[in-house]
Amino acid sequence: MVRSPTKSKSRSARNTAEIAREICSSIKDVYYDSSKDAFKKRTADLLNLYKQERGIVINKEEYLTELGYRVDVFLDGAKCHEGQLRVFKLFALLAIKCLKELDDESILDTIAISIHKKKFNASAFIRNSVVALIGRIFYGSVLEPGEKDDIETFFATHLPERMFTDLYQILWHLSADVDEDVRTGVLLAANRIQRYTGLMKVVDIHRFETTKQLFILGTRDPSEKVRTQAVSGLNVSTSGEARLLLERLIQDPCEEVRLAIAEKLSTDVPINFIAKSERQMLLKCSDLFLADTIIPEYYEILHSWARDLYSEREGLDFDVQLCPEQVLSGVFELLDSLRITKQLEQIFLRFFDHLRTRFFENIADNERSYVLFAQAFNYEKSPYVNNENYEDLCFLDDNSTGLIALNDKMKALLMWQYLSEYCCHPSLSEATRVECRQILLPTMSEYAKFIPEVWEKLKAGGEKESEARVMTFQNNCARSLISIFRNLEREEIGMREWKELLPELLHNYSFKYDLDLISLIVHDYFYYHFDTKNDPDDALHALSDLMAKIGDFGVKFNNTQDIFNDASTMFIDATQLELSQMPGSQVDVSPLTNMEPKSRKRCVQVLSAVFKNGFFLQHHPVLEGLLNDYALYTFDNQNDVESRREAFICIAGMAPLMDQNKNNYIRIARTILEDHSAQITELQKSALLLIHDAINVYGYLKVNEWYFSEVENATTSSNKLIEKLIDMCENPDTAFSTFVVRIILRLLAFDHQKFFHEAFVHLLLKLFNPGEDEKLKLLLVYFFTEYCHWSREHQCRMASAFVEAMMRLVDIDMDSTFVNVDKDEMATFVQQVTSFNALHPKAVDREHGTAHLFLAARLLTRIERVLDEKSFMNVFGSILSKCEVSEVFDETLFMNVKKGCERLHNLTADARLKKFIEAFHKRLASAEKHSQSKKAIARPEIIPKSREELEKQLEAIVTLLKSYNEETDNDKRPWLEENIQKEEGILAKMKIFGEMHVTIEDIRSRLIGKDSPLFQDNIADNEKPRPSTTPRKRRECTVSTTPKSRNALPPPSTRTLRRKPLKETLNTVAEEEDFVD
């Protein structure tokens, strides 16, 4: 250790060299001292040295000169980043203490000069060091206001106002720096001073150039590091700023930034800054609350809302500490402030798990915490329901009427349902579930008697209110009542009463049921009380009796029941026998003849719910009879849109189970597809699936005939089903048109007879048509590349479709949507995707050589027609000149192509086209010569593949297409976004002349990458400039620093500094606790 300046020679004997050496020694000691023990001591030593020498002019100048030089050196950088930060802290505190104790600004001015020289340096490392030093000066100079000081006007710093303003302006200019570390450092430095109103009034002169604006702009910075720091430092004081954080939480792609926002919302933002609609908007973000795992930071937001709502209700401060019982009381307030959605149940179940883990984390027995959690709810002061007070639900409307009482019932029932589902979850042990049931739920028999009482109250509670809201509240209550049944303890008497209750509810017309409620009742009736898989007869006869009960026509034998099922136990009286022998014109046996409209509608809804739940997956005569009596009759004879919708769902569900040679359900699908009324998109999707399945079973020609069987003046040539599908591809509804394209692609995968060739051409044009949907283009890229990857025959079909597509562009109408198709990009894509290397090593017919010979044959037959269209002629000629020729080829096709080249060469006068033809003809000659040599491999015998073999080999394509079932699950990831393993380069197993060295992966990356030619029109629209501050003129300081030659070596420079990875890089500004003495 170098001796302290206070113990060195007397002041009169100290020369300038010793002063410089002692300054260098102190800085070096701090730089290499990682334990921070030398920091305070060396600061005091340098301050004492300055006190002693400042009286001598030459020594004071030497002191300041040496210190200024060391500041310059460390601003240029250091090998040890932590040591550099310690030295900056030494400089800052030395200047501040000199200012406070001696009222001397000399050291501060010296440091400021160095900062001004380096502030706009070309090196980002040096600018970063400048920001770090300014940050430490701000941290060390803060002056806390006293009790008598006015916080609004108090100048809370030891720095002179001019110095403070100058340093702040440097930070403001560097806030728009191109380097993310510099911008992060600016936010760290500004964070320390932004809470002092008096300081901000000095610098926040312009309305849009305030310190808070730095943090607001930082929340949209391109750098994740900057956004994280901006969120952490943003002082939320208005509802607008809270709304900004909510929007960034939903939209920001970085998980680290989202977690920082969630922490800010749960700790610093009170709930009265967030409107109810904004809370609802946040809960709709399933990525936050319904991810694969529970992320505590997001559910802490709900926890803080529950605390704030309870505090607001009880008149407490938001910062007061609450016990678990009080927080859980606020949970009901939170539910009451939200709109009920389908996702809310899963969110609250996860929220309960978060709260239980947080409240009872010290309990070793995990299942015991579930019982304690159920007991923690305050069933006396909050409107929670348990096994003791559930009957009070019938009397909630004594003091209020209408929608208010209905809303109270709904929220109480929903919370009861959520809590019982969580505490009685099947994953828990039976002992735990029994204890929770004793706290929360009545017995099954008691509950079965309780439901009808509440059911009638649901009607009374909403009679005088608006129809739509009343129906929503009533059905939410009813669904909760039914769902709670599943959590009750099973008992024989209770199960019997439950089974009798559910049909009664379906026959009840106390209020208007929605489809989800009917589906829930039907599901519980058949799932818990019948074995539909092993004994469908019992379940179907029960369904038939249920229909008869709903229709109020009694138990009659009709074509819904098999009267010969058990002749020994069945009795038919004389009247029924006589009726059965009467002609159809004298008696109508259909039970729907005298049914009331509401009963008929309810029957169809029940039957639709049966098909939606998928209980019966095999044909059964009773099910067919129910379909004919209810669904078909309703669809053909009723004008009620909702009834026809449910009837069609029944038909679409039953059609795959029946022989459509006897039952033409395709004509019903046509009725749906040609109905242009609104809100039937889902039905049209079902109709398309019905047609798709029928084509796979009965063939396209048969389905096409059925589709137009009832159309007047219909002919096969003028009414092709495929033309209807192509027209639907242009539907303005992007989601629906994409679904139609998916159906066509499924059909294309097994189109062995080329029925869908026109659709192939249309989709190829659509792929290269500017303005089409981006997701649709991605889908087509993946399909076409995968389609051609596995079969040479598919490559030939692609070549044929491409040539026809180009010929359509030759004579295209200027009003056509395809007038701007990029034919050059389409030609490049087709030539690459039909090349030999694009085939998989196990592709079908790969041994027969490249498909470019087939492409060349198609081109030669069309070039003669475009000799007058120079642009198309050049495109065709360019493709021809690049076509591959393999040593294995079809001799007949080869000779025809060769003759076609010679004929076209003599026919055209265009010199450029002649060169194209000559280049390809030369390749043909080389291949022919090689095929006659001994090096040529034997040509395989061409044996056509059977349909069964092709279907087996194309199974991979269909698997990809069906892995994303949009009609059944909208939340599944589409297959086109899945990571596909990159294939290694495929080397040709035969000699290829003019070989194209390109793989399927290369083709995909070119078309879906950042610079894809498919999306060039969208790039300019989607690019958004990085938010920045107002442009300012920056002047580079021309003052240079000249190193002085001294015996003492300065600390190493950071000109060779190697930055640590992002996660390991230390903050460029010291934390606040570093300055605590």
- What is the number of alpha carbons within 13 Å of residue 738 lying toward its C-beta? 18
Closest CA to 132 of 183, 88, 81: 88
Domains of the chain, start order: 1-218+1026-1077 (1.25.10)
Q: Give phi and psi for 157, each to the nearest 5.
A: -155, 150
| Cβ contact 449:394 at 8 Å | no
What is the spatial distance between Cα 82 and Cα 610, in angstroms, rounded to a whole number? 70
pLDDT number for residue 715: 59
**Measured on CA atoms in the order 601, 607, 608, 609, is the torsion positive or negative?**
positive
In three-state secondary structure terms, 993 is strand
What is the spatial distance between Cα 86 and Cα 100, in angstroms, rounded to a whole number? 21
- Amino acid in the structure at residue 43: T
Which DSSP state fits 975? G
Q: How far is CA 305 from the centre of its chain?
A: 25
pLDDT number for residue 1008: 80
What is the spatial distance between Cα 109 and Cα 115, in angstroms, rounded to a whole number? 10
What is the spatial distance between Cα 884 and Cα 900, in angstroms, rounded to a whole number? 16
What is the spatial distance between Cα 920 and Cα 898, in angstroms, rounded to a whole number? 9
**Mean pLDDT per 10-residue section of the chain, whose length is 1077 residues:** 42 67 83 72 84 82 84 80 83 86 86 87 87 88 83 85 90 91 92 86 78 91 94 92 94 93 94 92 90 91 94 90 91 91 92 94 86 88 85 66 80 93 93 93 92 82 67 91 91 90 90 92 93 90 90 52 40 40 42 75 92 89 89 82 87 86 85 77 88 89 87 63 90 89 91 89 92 89 90 92 92 86 91 91 85 92 86 90 89 90 88 90 89 66 58 60 46 40 49 87 81 57 40 35 35 32 34 35
What dihedral do alpha carbons 736, 737, 742, 743 form, nearest 10°?
A: 80
CA angle 364, 368, 373 (to 5 degrees): 115
Closest CA to 528 of 507, 500, 555: 500
3-state helix, strand, coil in the chain (%, to 5): 65, 0, 35
pLDDT number for residue 139: 87
Residues 6 or more apart whose Cβ sits within 8 Å of residue 421 = 345, 349, 483, 487
| Cβ contact 873:837 at 8 Å | no
pLDDT number for residue 1035: 35
Q: Write the CA distances from 663 to 488, 618, 996, integer angstroms.
A: 45, 16, 53
Closest CA to 731 of 772, 764, 767, 691: 772
Which DSSP state fits 595? -
What is the spatial distance between Cα 120 and Cα 133, in angstroms, rounded to a whole number? 14
- List 844's β-bridge partners, or say none: 791
Termini Cα distance of the chain: 23
Which DSSP state fits 1013? G
Q: Where are the beta strands (DSSP E) in 458-570?
A: none
Which DSSP state fits 582? S
What is the spatial distance between Cα 736 and Cα 756, in angstroms, rounded to a whole number? 19
Which residue is associated with the tokens 């049921």? 513
As a whole number of angstroms, the longest Cα–Cα distance in the chain is 139
Closest CA to 388 of 375, 379, 399, 376: 379
CA angle 77, 80, 81 (to 5 degrees): 65
Which residue is associated with the tokens 């002609």? 583
In three-state secondary structure terms, 339 is coil
Which DSSP state fits 443? -
Q: Write the CA distances from 261 to 131, 216, 257, 382, 483, integer angstroms.
A: 25, 13, 6, 31, 36
Count, residues in the chain? 1077
| Cβ contact 793:947 at 8 Å | no
Closest CA to 415 of 326, 521, 335, 527: 335
